[in-house]
Structure 1
């Protein structure tokens, strides 16, 4: 594609180049010639995200995630919105993060936009554009999580919502400042968006689950301790370690009692009041609450917050019937917030978070500060004291207020309350009460996108929104570690708000606070936004349970298709490289999208500036490497080429595949095995996969990656360049079988530790990997086939649906289709039993879930778990590819205990293959519909005979 020439310049405003969590508005009014409107386009990009409006109409959002050196830009058709021969307005809201996370590498604030028609520039960003910080949005709102950016607090009283329209007067706004020309700054190159725009579908909820009067703690706050203790950590997303304390003074006008709470957990067990360690607490982990009987006067509160911190918010609250006040220790000169930090006494940045943290825990201050009983004694440590930066703390803590409800009194839900979720003209009325009024809204199924509502309310009414994924009865699974909230403070009258921050959830908890008169809730909705795909793939069979399982697999996959594949729409929204390999295969059978796969694969080598081993989530500011995730990327590259027949892509990606594999082979030791430090992950289960040493499953998947790299080289026309990898496969094959097989246990051991100690742990994960990667052969292969059917009880069992994907691949290779179906029914059937509309990240027997019988998994929507969407079509319906690009196919049904099945499989070039079969006794009727240029090899299962009917698209039966 020819690179376009830009007349636009990068612009910004305000005093800071990269301010923390700033929403900035830009406007430009311009004349539109009469003959220029119809074909007009607007090209735009921003750092970090934008929402574009033309003449008051929202046109789109973007850009897609990018490496700064190759920033993507969008092109929007705007001719239908322009007013020929009149003044027109472009308005852009830019959300600048001001810190690195798992889907953004910190650059600086910037906007580049250019409207043109027929090669004539209508408007381009320059110093004439007007800009202002969006005053309604509070930049000190909570950090959502280490993976994501910020929740929001929005005060509509402070901003004129007509700022996007032509009638708004922006004369008082200052002019924007030119940052650099296009091609300058951190954005060295602008690249046209390589995928379609995401959908926006207004979805109404299914029901109001409950209505209650609630109370919150008298005081609550959320603090970004990571940024407070280590300010430079905003430039990256690596773990940081620090030692130190958070301190405040609690003043009691009279004797009384208060409760100090940590609704998202504590960093250490060391919480002190007036120098005394508080050992007794209540609550279920991670929540912790301390009830404190206190005398009249001042009391020094100190919490040891020494920790390894990846990012997010630290939540603290105080409640009680007795009056109290918080203030900063050592007087007002220590800032406007009631908190100070003491320290850090030591800090460390961990590129590899599994390193042993060498914080100076014996520093005298670390040992002594907790016993400090007064402000006067605290002065001894004045050199370590800093006020908490007002930009890093908010006392509008929606998450803490939802987790720690000091009162909850449930009411019956009036029938008219459902008007809020129905497209009817009459609003629901939220009554006034001495309590806050809470509505729990069920979206009907998991969603991803943007929460919106329309209300009529008095000024100052607060509407808090909090998204969760699962609830059952009185149990709510709070999103610990994720502040999935926002607060909207109403101006007077009727108003609408749609949060511009993407979220995922099944339930939205709306809490109405501070309303002086009844609030009319005209509607609440969810603007679902996903990758645009048609519902091409399908699967139905004689088992209704399998049909439900296929459906939740399909919906999970869709919700995890954004501008890349993502692991989950709620907790992270991160493109994890290894996850996406399995997600791509499911997508091929369910939706058939290929551009998103290609985009994901091409993004990975951009991390080569961080490490030649490539990082495990991209684009990201976290320098983390999971070797298997890189191996899965190599495998996915070859599978994409085989699926599409795109040899041009093979030529383009081959140098990067070769580059990283060469560097991995440099970590092969004298025994001939991959021996390296890294996040050596395959499954969440307790397999022995140390962060340093020889990990068996890692060696096995390196073999598979090398084999498929050889095939990729052949597709790229570089067969000679792939031959060294064939030799490496042979060497690894021999070394694994010589060094990592245990004759006594008749299995492959999990690892050899860095000190040479052979692991005593044997796992199904390692045996599955050995079979799948073609390293177990002969008698060893036969032995492992026995384990697939009857896993030894003392072997570590599979712990996640992600690992089940590889298990199902292995069962397919072994011809154990019935066992595959049984496993799907059991594990995914438990999800259906609990009302799941999407696939869970882990199984309920996973160790992390056992401490709470209500907790079934962390993420209730995780695309690495959608395996049935692939295997039910590929193995049971029986449609699989026989040649690159699906020029030929094999249709070979595997009925197992089913009597019929039907479905469609999308083709990469468009169109589809439709298959149905019915089994009566040993007779099968098989019907196949496919394009006439695809060769079809139809086969009956062993011992079955029958009739084949093929329909050629547009021709008839043959």
Structure 2
């Protein structure tokens, strides 16, 4: 029975990728269909929806029979927790969700237990009104539930002790104002060492003065309960791990000399009494980590730790990210005030994203010893299971930096940017998910994103533009990308049960647009909400012309493109009438948009029927939606690539520009379109930016698309049929003469070695997994592929 339950959970949460799916710890079936015996607990006599940091403790005895082989517990908190067993930190959570799907972690704590007395402790915090926008909340609370009767001795109830910390106060509350940017990751932490209950998580600490926890309510799982504060669901992604990351270099100091051994932890650094000292550390690449600072002495000192992606000159320009002369740091920060004792460790509650970290230290009468400083790198455990190389070695740096960008933008959900927002947007997530599938083969974060947006739907039928989120934001174009994301999953994974559940929601989303079709012009009429398309075009909000007034060719054609994808889904799941209706509507929208917006004089698709403005975006969607024939699409593509007077795509929409190149059989031009990424590398960026200079974010997920396109476009590896049951290999080498690529698919790995043979020919060595077939196509010629190794010469 236990094995069967593990297998069921693995299938539900990991899809069909059994290679990547490690068996999740089993959850007692009774806990998934009824109230838990444990209680949600909180701190008594405190404002439970306000900012607060809390320490929870529970001591318990293990029987003399010895340490158990397994001791499973289920843990969650609002907002978040960090769990300790016998003084050792073992996990953090929960993964972000919403009140209808509040995730809990299942952890086997047996390896950390000892015979006799043990201590289970948790640091729990609620940012209140200062919480990140991605953080949904009800009130401060914590829960632990033992998996069976053997573990229920640790269940949260009044036997737990709790103390509200007086050491924490929020700081860096003006980040957005100082950076002149939208920044919603929450406040920094100011910690007063003399008020902190040091060693509180250990058995030796005396908690006699602490309060008994207050019981709130019994937890309820999804599908149960009548008065739920949170509805619990098992975590559906792996736990995030941490690993130490040392600073490689000190770039600048003020009023002090620092030995390089300080950065390796071999030699402490003493800051004399009554000094003001500044030390600028350079990680030399962007990272997401918990900085940990260990100090001794320095009672009353003040240590400010400022984190930044880059330094700024007096005009607030970043310039080359490697250069620091005449530049200063500004950004999110934390403050630690030591209490004067030895080996005090400061660590912020939440991770920080940074390349540069500056220590600004002010001592009083007591010298301060910096024992050590380093980062504990964290993030979703994406693993590289693909490879790419070519005769152009510069592509390797783009591949490497793209992968680094994708890693930093993956945590307990996909992040648009780890520094400024840490929000999961549909438009970003579609591209991120494809990168994940192609480079790692891991589909779990993609599945979570699809489900998160499914849970975000509003009564109108649209998904929210970003989710989880404690603020409502609807971007209708992003609801269309959600449908595209489901279509992507269907093409790359054989998982019919998962896909089928979304068909009613897909229909509702598409009907929202259908109900807004201008019946006279047969284009979309006026649309509500934020109809974002792309930055650096249109208006300050990236809104498509005609979105609010009606008859936007860009959004109408994107709608038609999405209708065609939906039709494939509905036809595959035995809804032929619905599929026919969607295809006919797409044809009608395409035909009328082309009629009203195509300008024969300049050969372009206008943004609206008034033909006052033109953009690459309109042409891209005309090609992708099928509004133009192949020949017309090729002519149109040449126009939009060469005419710099029209609205240009930024990094986000370069993904769709590449898709349009492939649809127009012009994929060989992709290699020439890599200049923006080359330019970013020349500017010293170690991750890819949100948009061309000047950019807010130096690390933005949608700009990592080359890691998908090097395999899907240059190598040309794509699913030939849904579920990647067959493979289509259609290379677009451009000026490249040699390319090698390997990537995971559900059946195994696909490998290609491609070498040009003269000007028009090619020699291809291809390896397909067992029981996998496909087609290789090169300049109009097709060759059938079989499992195993084959050599093709054209």
Range of TM-score over shorter length: 0.7 to 0.9
Shift of residue 932, structure 1, vs aligned partner: 1.9
- 1:457-468 counterparts in 2 under 5 A? 457-468=297-308
The 1:624/1:172 distance shift into structure 2, 3 A limit, reads same
User: Which residue in the other structure is 1:169 paired with?
Assistant: 206
Whether 1:707 and 2:584 are equivalent positions in the alignment is no
The 1:522/1:72 distance shift into structure 2, 3 A limit, reads same
Alpha-carbon distance in 2 for matches of 1:647, 1:943: 33
Shift of residue 715, structure 1, vs aligned partner: 3.5
- 1:889-928 counterparts in 2 under 5 A? 889-908=727-746, 911-919=748-756, 921=758, 924-928=762-766
Shift of residue 924, structure 1, vs aligned partner: 4.3
Q: SS of the residue aligned with 2:365? A: coil
If you compute each CA radius of gyration, which structure gives the higher value, 1 or 2?
Answer: 1
User: Which residue in the other structure is 2:723 paired with?
Assistant: 885
Whether 1:502 and 2:351 are equivalent positions in the alignment is yes
Shift of residue 864, structure 1, vs aligned partner: 0.6
Shift of residue 656, structure 1, vs aligned partner: 1.6
The 1:717/1:491 distance shift into structure 2, 3 A limit, reads farther
Given that 1:789 and 1:819 are in contact with CA atoms closer than 8 Å, whether structure 2 keeps it comes out as: no
Structure 2 residue corresponding to 1:27, chosen from 43, 47, 57: 57
Q: Deviations over 1:532-559 (max 9, x none)?
A: 1222112111112111111111110111
Given that 1:21 and 1:150 are in contact with CA atoms closer than 8 Å, whether structure 2 keeps it comes out as: no
Shift of residue 141, structure 1, vs aligned partner: 6.4
- 1:131-146 counterparts in 2 under 5 A? 131-139=162-170, 142=173
The 1:579/1:726 distance shift into structure 2, 3 A limit, reads same
Q: Deviations over 1:71-128 (max 9, x none)?
A: 11111110111123x1221111111121364312231111111134576522111122
Whether 1:488 and 2:336 are equivalent positions in the alignment is yes
User: Which residue in the other structure is 2:270 paired with?
Assistant: 429
Whether 1:807 and 2:657 are equivalent positions in the alignment is yes
Whether 1:673 and 2:523 are equivalent positions in the alignment is yes
Structure 2 residue corresponding to 1:858, chosen from 678, 682, 696: 696
Cα RMSD of the aligned pairs, angstroms, is: 2.6
User: Which residue in the other structure is 1:301 paired with?
Assistant: none
Given that 1:143 and 1:151 are in contact with CA atoms closer than 8 Å, whether structure 2 keeps it comes out as: no
Q: Deviations over 1:806-859 (max 9, x none)?
A: 1111112223334211120x1111111122211111112xxxx2xxxxxxx211
Given that 1:904 and 1:913 are in contact with CA atoms closer than 8 Å, whether structure 2 keeps it comes out as: yes
Shift of residue 501, structure 1, vs aligned partner: 1.3
Total equivalences in the alignment:
726
Alpha-carbon distance in 1 for matches of 2:394, 2:782: 25
Q: SS of the residue aligned with 1:104? A: coil
The 1:139/1:650 distance shift into structure 2, 3 A limit, reads same
- 1:758-797 counterparts in 2 under 5 A? 758=610, 760-777=612-629, 780-790=632-642, 792-797=643-648
Structure 2 residue corresponding to 1:473, chosen from 319, 324, 328: 324
Given that 2:387 and 2:743 are in contact with CA atoms closer than 8 Å, whether structure 1 keeps it comes out as: yes
Q: SS of the residue aligned with 2:343? A: strand
User: Which residue in the other structure is 1:305 paired with?
Assistant: none
Shift of residue 933, structure 1, vs aligned partner: 2.0
Structure 2 residue corresponding to 1:652, chosen from 501, 516, 525: 501
Whether 1:209 and 2:251 are equivalent positions in the alignment is yes
Q: SS of the residue aligned with 2:154? A: strand
The 1:772/1:726 distance shift into structure 2, 3 A limit, reads closer
Q: Deviations over 1:678-700 (max 9, x none)?
A: 21111112226255122221111
User: Which residue in the other structure is 1:685 paired with?
Assistant: 536
Alpha-carbon distance in 2 for matches of 1:73, 1:137: 26
- 1:99-138 counterparts in 2 under 5 A? 99=129, 101-117=132-148, 120-138=151-169
User: Which residue in the other structure is 1:200 paired with?
Assistant: 242
Alpha-carbon distance in 1 for matches of 2:66, 2:503: 47
Given that 1:20 and 1:139 are in contact with CA atoms closer than 8 Å, whether structure 2 keeps it comes out as: no
Alpha-carbon distance in 2 for matches of 1:43, 1:165: 21
The 1:150/1:907 distance shift into structure 2, 3 A limit, reads same
Which deviates more, 6-15 or 632-641? 6-15
Given that 1:128 and 1:175 are in contact with CA atoms closer than 8 Å, whether structure 2 keeps it comes out as: yes
Structure 1 residue corresponding to 2:185, chosen from 148, 166, 186: 148
Alpha-carbon distance in 2 for matches of 1:759, 1:924: 44
Given that 2:274 and 2:363 are in contact with CA atoms closer than 8 Å, whether structure 1 keeps it comes out as: no
Shift of residue 670, structure 1, vs aligned partner: 2.4
Q: Deviations over 1:607-649 (max 9, x none)?
A: 2246522210001122211111110110010110110011111
Whether 1:187 and 2:35 are equivalent positions in the alignment is no
Whether 1:571 and 2:420 are equivalent positions in the alignment is yes
Given that 1:102 and 1:618 are in contact with CA atoms closer than 8 Å, whether structure 2 keeps it comes out as: no
Q: SS of the residue aligned with 1:161? A: coil
Q: SS of the residue aligned with 1:38? A: coil
Q: SS of the residue aligned with 1:46? A: strand
User: Which residue in the other structure is 1:730 paired with?
Assistant: 587
Alpha-carbon distance in 2 for matches of 1:814, 1:730: 18
Alpha-carbon distance in 2 for matches of 1:141, 1:786: 49
User: Which residue in the other structure is 1:872 paired with?
Assistant: 710
Shift of residue 68, structure 1, vs aligned partner: 0.8
The 1:611/1:22 distance shift into structure 2, 3 A limit, reads farther
Alpha-carbon distance in 2 for matches of 1:647, 1:885: 9
Alpha-carbon distance in 1 for matches of 2:146, 2:370: 38
Alpha-carbon distance in 1 for matches of 2:661, 2:103: 42
Alpha-carbon distance in 2 for matches of 1:888, 1:944: 14
Shift of residue 787, structure 1, vs aligned partner: 1.1
Given that 1:451 and 1:525 are in contact with CA atoms closer than 8 Å, whether structure 2 keeps it comes out as: yes
Whether 1:178 and 2:215 are equivalent positions in the alignment is yes
Structure 2 residue corresponding to 1:44, chosen from 56, 66, 75: 75
Q: SS of the residue aligned with 1:164? A: coil
User: Which residue in the other structure is 1:64 paired with?
Assistant: 95
Alpha-carbon distance in 1 for matches of 2:198, 2:384: 37
Structure 2 residue corresponding to 1:89, chosen from 91, 114, 119: 119
Q: Give unmatched runs, 5+ long, in structure 1.
A: 214-410, 753-757, 850-856, 954-958
Given that 2:272 and 2:367 are in contact with CA atoms closer than 8 Å, whether structure 1 keeps it comes out as: yes
User: Which residue in the other structure is 1:241 paired with?
Assistant: none
The 1:673/1:645 distance shift into structure 2, 3 A limit, reads same
Alpha-carbon distance in 2 for matches of 1:193, 1:53: 19
Q: Give unmatched runs, 5+ long, in structure 2.
A: 1-8, 10-28, 177-182, 312-322
Given that 1:467 and 1:508 are in contact with CA atoms closer than 8 Å, whether structure 2 keeps it comes out as: yes
The 1:153/1:682 distance shift into structure 2, 3 A limit, reads same
- 1:286-685 counterparts in 2 under 5 A? 414=258, 416=259, 418-424=260-266, 426-432=267-273, 434=275, 436-471=276-311, 472-474=323-325, 476=327, 484-492=332-340, 493-609=342-458, 611-671=460-520, 672-675=522-525, 676-685=527-536
Given that 2:293 and 2:373 are in contact with CA atoms closer than 8 Å, whether structure 1 keeps it comes out as: yes
Alpha-carbon distance in 2 for matches of 1:477, 1:635: 43
Given that 1:127 and 1:176 are in contact with CA atoms closer than 8 Å, whether structure 2 keeps it comes out as: yes
Given that 2:391 and 2:738 are in contact with CA atoms closer than 8 Å, whether structure 1 keeps it comes out as: yes
Q: SS of the residue aligned with 1:929? A: strand
Shift of residue 737, structure 1, vs aligned partner: 2.2
The 1:611/1:17 distance shift into structure 2, 3 A limit, reads farther
Q: SS of the residue aligned with 1:443? A: strand
Given that 1:925 and 1:948 are in contact with CA atoms closer than 8 Å, whether structure 2 keeps it comes out as: no
- Relative to the length of structure 1, the TM-score reads 0.72
Q: SS of the residue aligned with 2:711? A: helix
Alpha-carbon distance in 2 for matches of 1:747, 1:720: 34
Alpha-carbon distance in 2 for matches of 1:937, 1:819: 22
Given that 1:788 and 1:811 are in contact with CA atoms closer than 8 Å, whether structure 2 keeps it comes out as: no
Given that 1:927 and 1:949 are in contact with CA atoms closer than 8 Å, whether structure 2 keeps it comes out as: no
User: Which residue in the other structure is 2:6 paired with?
Assistant: none
- Relative to the length of structure 2, the TM-score reads 0.86
Shift of residue 801, structure 1, vs aligned partner: 0.7
The 1:908/1:647 distance shift into structure 2, 3 A limit, reads same
Q: Deviations over 1:769-797 (max 9, x none)?
A: 2112222237743441331442x232122
